[in-house]
């Protein structure tokens, strides 16, 4: 082994193996073009190339690979939703994560350590009971726990007995977990690239040519390509890109901010969140405490952070774990979330026959990476929206068939 290593080290013309090839020139035509090189788009490319034999695929990314919301979220994977449609969908997302490292032959560091959501009021506890029963009905591992059990699950929590934010109980979701976001995107990208999918970084979509009710070509910053099908999975730019295709979206953009502390010894095994405090915390495998929280209070199309929101995050974190008060922050950032009126994504058909949507992922997109990719690929391959995606259509707004998941996250309310 050391000798082989030495031989490679001294060899002048040794070319190291690249899992993601350099961006090639654009071909004139692709069967499928995926707009957005984040987790969702790359997952769709993987499923198209591996399970449907569709390999003449290009992923167009305006910036660099997985540099948008895939890199900016706080990597919570869970299925503690409240409507039948959502639970069914996110439950499959969790089970796909359980098998992802094997599927991709790439360690995505999935760590299923459970998520604990805290209740500081009787009203929250009541809503937890409903949420737990809905989850149990669908076979997810979820239950309401009392303060004693909360202490057992997370001994370092400040229970704040008699205080303003006393912990009266929690929602214990054992299926919850976390994974390494970069590994998820890179794993999908590497698998797709190995099967012939082209990944075009720094390639911006500028417009569409349509004939009848179909997109015939996409104009990009590096030339025009004709297309069979298009999948739009552009994260914070979803509304902008849809507008280029002449599609109106019920989306407003809000920044979502997060930050991490310096690495600490492992003490926080579970994911902890509190909707009242607009805070959630998880300790990464490097030991850093990842702190996420509420969206900005008014809409912006900007990734600049604000001191106000960072103070709010720090306040929530110190309330739950007072000993974090003198811990230093290492990094902070913001992402642009594409929020829908009912806090549920928009997937499936669009007014254009060969243009498929994967939009409105707001603050809840990372956990759905594999399942969205899987069923979008299925949809494109069969030219028919997969059954599990039907409730999430753009048309649901006109039919007043909204799927209210406003309470499903600690982020936005």
Binding site for another protein (CB under 8 A): 239-240, 248-253, 297-302, 304, 306-308, 341, 397-398, 400
Residues 6+ apart with CB under 8 A from 371: 89, 90, 92, 93, 96
CB 284 within 8 A of CB 248: no
* Beta bridge pairs of residue 291: 259, 281
Nearest distance in Å: CB 78, another protein: 26
Nearest distance in Å: CB 297, another protein: 6
Inter-CA distances, 98 with 110, 112, 176, Å? 7, 8, 11
Inter-CA distances, 113 with 28, 80, 184, 238, Å? 47, 14, 18, 32
The DSSP secondary-structure symbol of 10 reads: H
**What is the Cα–Cα distance from 156 to 266, expressed in whole angstroms?**
12
**What is the Cα–Cα distance from 20 to 181, expressed in whole angstroms?**
16
Nearest distance in Å: CB 47, another protein: 30
Side-chain half-sphere exposure of 274, counting CA atoms within 13 A: 27
Nearest distance in Å: CB 306, another protein: 8
Residue 265, Cβ neighbours under 10 Å: how many?
Answer: 6
- Strand, helix or coil at 398? coil
Nearest distance in Å: CB 158, another protein: 25
Residue 241, Cβ neighbours under 10 Å: how many?
Answer: 22
Nearest distance in Å: CB 293, another protein: 15
CB 173 within 8 A of CB 186: no
CB 116 within 8 A of CB 273: yes
**What is the Cα–Cα distance from 139 to 237, expressed in whole angstroms?**
35
**What is the Cα–Cα distance from 230 to 290, expressed in whole angstroms?**
35
CB 159 within 8 A of CB 116: no
Nearest distance in Å: CB 390, another protein: 18
Residues 6+ apart with CB under 8 A from 265: 287
Nearest distance in Å: CB 168, another protein: 28
Nearest distance in Å: CB 402, another protein: 9
């Amino acid at each position: 082994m050391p000798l082989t290593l030495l031989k490679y080290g001294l060899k002048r013309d040794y070319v190291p193996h690249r899992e993601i090839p350099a961006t090639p020139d654009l071909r004139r035509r692709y069967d499928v073009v995926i707009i957005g090189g984040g987790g969702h788009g790359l997952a769709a490319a993987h499923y198209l190339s591996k399970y449907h034999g569709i390999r003449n695929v290009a992923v167009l990314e305006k910036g660099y690979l997985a540099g948008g919301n895939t890199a900016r979220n706080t990597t919570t994977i869970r299925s503690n939703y409240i409507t039948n449609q959502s639970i069914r969908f996110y439950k499959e997302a969790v089970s796909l994560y359980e098998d992802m490292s094997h599927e991709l032959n790439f360690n995505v560091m999935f760590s299923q350590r459970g998520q604990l959501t805290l209740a500081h009021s009787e009203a929250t506890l009541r809503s937890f009971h409903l949420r737990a029963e809905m989850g149990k009905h669908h076979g997810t591992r979820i239950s309401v726990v009392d303060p004693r059990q909360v202490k057992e699950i997370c001994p370092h929590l400040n229970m704040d007995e008699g205080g303003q934010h006393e912990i009266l109980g929690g929602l214990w979701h054992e299926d919850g977990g976390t994974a390494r976001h970069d590994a998820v995107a890179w794993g999908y990208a590497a698998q797709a690239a190995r099967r012939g999918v082209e990944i075009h970084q720094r390639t911006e979509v500028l417009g569409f040519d349509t004939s009848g009710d179909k997109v015939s070509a996409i104009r990009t910053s590096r030339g025009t390509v004709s297309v069979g099908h298009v999948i739009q999975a552009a994260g914070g730019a979803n509304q902008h890109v849809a507008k280029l295709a002449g599609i109106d979206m019920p989306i407003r953009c809000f920044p979502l901010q997060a930050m991490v502390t310096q690495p600490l010894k492992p003490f926080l095994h579970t994911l902890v969140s509190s909707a009242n405090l607009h805070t959630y915390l998880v300790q990464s495998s490097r030991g850093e405490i990842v702190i996420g929280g509420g969206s900005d209070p008014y809409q912006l199309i900007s990734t600049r952070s604000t001191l106000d929101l960072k103070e709010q995050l720090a306040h929530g974190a110190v309330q739950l774990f007072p000993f974090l008060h003198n811990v230093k922050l290492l990094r902070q950032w913001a992402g642009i979330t594409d929020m829908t009126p009912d806090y549920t994504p928009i997937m499936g058909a669009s007014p254009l026959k060969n243009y498929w949507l994967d939009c409105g992922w707001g603050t809840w997109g990372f956990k759905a990476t594999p399942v969205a990719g899987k069923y979008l690929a299925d949809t494109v391959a069969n030219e028919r929206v997969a059954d599990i995606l039907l409730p999430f259509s753009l048309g649901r707004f006109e039919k007043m068939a909204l799927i209210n998941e406003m309470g499903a996250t600690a982020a936005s309310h």
